[in-house]
Structure 1
Amino acid sequence: MSEQLITLATNYGIPFLALIVFLSCLALPVPCSFVMLMSGSLVTSGDLAFTPVFMAAYGAALAGDQTGFFAGRLAGRFIIPSIERSPARRDLLARAHGMLEKRGAIGVFLSRWLFSPLGPYVNLITGAAGMSWWRFSLPAALGELVWVSLYVGLGMAFSDNILMIADLASNVSGMLAAGAITVFLGWRLWKQISGSAKDHGHRKIRHQR
């Protein structure tokens, strides 16, 4: 599966990335995390340019969020009961509802990246519940900015380890996957920054001598 996705991401590039990101925001079972990581890796290799990759992923995420929000606004009373027929989706829907009740707009923001499996259900619930468009859209846009930056940036920074990171994302279930990758990224970046700071300090000492 990974080899097929790599081939698709390489051959179809930006349109494939945008389609996968958009569908993931509608709760369809597509390998969005891997495709975003792979797209970041292709930026590092020079096969894709950063700006089109970032804008395609970010624009598709925003479009998916708005589609879900207005679907909930216009037809939530039909869509939500159909989702509740599935035990797994009913659980995600309940978690999304609980987070919105507890955190409100902050919950919308966190559901874009830290609790990303809840994102599509948050879109539906906020629309069906009548949350104002601005109160939904602003934290959603900020959260998607974090999400896209995180995954594309991770793919760029660690392009040699894409398959390992993808395995981490697929093997850690549910909401823990996003949190695990966030922690991993922070740890690796901290090591790079601290290593660069030490090297700079050593160079400064040698220069003073």
Structure 2
Amino acid sequence: MNDLVLTLAADYGVPLLFCVTFLSCLALPVPSSLFMLASGGFAATGDLSLPAVALAAFVGAVCGDNLGYWIARRLRGRVTGWLATRPRRAAMRDRAQDYMHKWGGSSIFFSCWLVAPLGPYVNYVSGLSGYRWSRFALWGAAGETVWVGVYVGLGYLFADNITAISSLLGNLSGFLAALVVAVLLAIWLRHASNARQKKADRKKAAS
């Protein structure tokens, strides 16, 4: 896979990098981080232009983020109607909206780079929850600036060790994403347990 990515990055360069970062932000399984590292490495050797590489990666990521947001936003009415048919689903919808209202900006920003595997799903949740687009676009652009800067920059600085850097960053990002999911699951289980206990207490008091 690494050799294929390096070959494709060398042969197709900037246009392919745009496509890869664009698709990755729609949750499609493409090695966007490795492509950015490889492109940064080729920029260091003079085979690609560093500004062109950074711009292509950034524009592709921002376009992908916003397309994901608007796809979800267009489907919001149908999904919201489906969620409203069951009390538990409606409660989940309300919690998601409350969460995005309180923590939406920081979630969007950090999901772009610190826990990048979760980024596309945060885009969809932002659209489904009705999070304001202007704020989404601003936080998303800020996060993608960091993501592109880190990966293209590391590829440029460590052109001879791209595979090792990619493995290290991939493992770290995957670990952080798994940790975030585990924490959210623990919070959800605790909330569900408390809700069941309160329901049982009300039944016991009524009897």
TM value normalised by structure 1:
0.71
Cα deviation, residue 100, structure 1 = 4.0
Letter in 2 for 1:74: R
Within 5 Å, which residues of 2 pair with 1:1-209? 1-76=1-76, 100=100, 103-172=103-172, 174-176=174-176
CA contact (8 A) 2:72 2:128 kept: yes
Alignment gaps of 5+ in structure 2: 81-95, 178-207
Counterpart Cα distance in 1 of 2:133 and 2:141: 12
Indicate the SS of the match to 1:104: helix
CA shift digits 1:45-67 (9 cap, x unpaired): 00000111111000001100110
Q: Deviations over 1:84-114 (max 9, x none)?
A: xxxxxxxxxxxx9897466221111111111
Task: Check 1:25–1:97 CA distance in 2 against 1; reply closer, same or farther (3 A cut).
Answer: farther
**1:173/1:126 CA distance change after superposition, 3 Å:** closer
Q: What is the distance in 2 between the residues matched to 1:77 and 1:165?
A: 43
AA in 1 matched with 2:64: G
> 1:77 offset after TM fit, Å?
6.2
Give the corresponding residue for 1:184.
none
- In structure 2, distance between residues paired with 1:158 and 1:166: 11
Q: Secondary structure at the match of 2:139?
A: helix
Regions of 4+ moved over 6 Å: 77-80, 96-99
RMSD (CA atoms): 2.4
CA shift in 2, pair 1:98/1:116, >3 Å? farther
> Match for residue 197 of structure 2?
none
* Structure 1 stretches lacking a partner, 5+ long: 81-95, 178-209
Give the structure 2 partner of residue 83 of structure 1. Answer: none
Cα 1:97–1:56 shift into 2, 3 Å: farther
Shift of 1:75: 1.7
For the pair shown, which has the larger CA radius of gyration, 1 or 2? 2
1:138-189 Cα deviation digits (max 9, x unpaired): 1111111111001000100111110111222344562538xxxxxxxxxxxx
> What's the offset of the Cα at 1:69?
0.4
CA distance in 2, matches of 1:42, 1:165: 15
TM-score (norm 2): 0.72
* CA separation of 1:99 and 1:145: change in aligned 2, threshold 3 A: farther
Q: Give the distance between the partners of 1:79 and 1:120, measured in 2 at CA.
A: 18
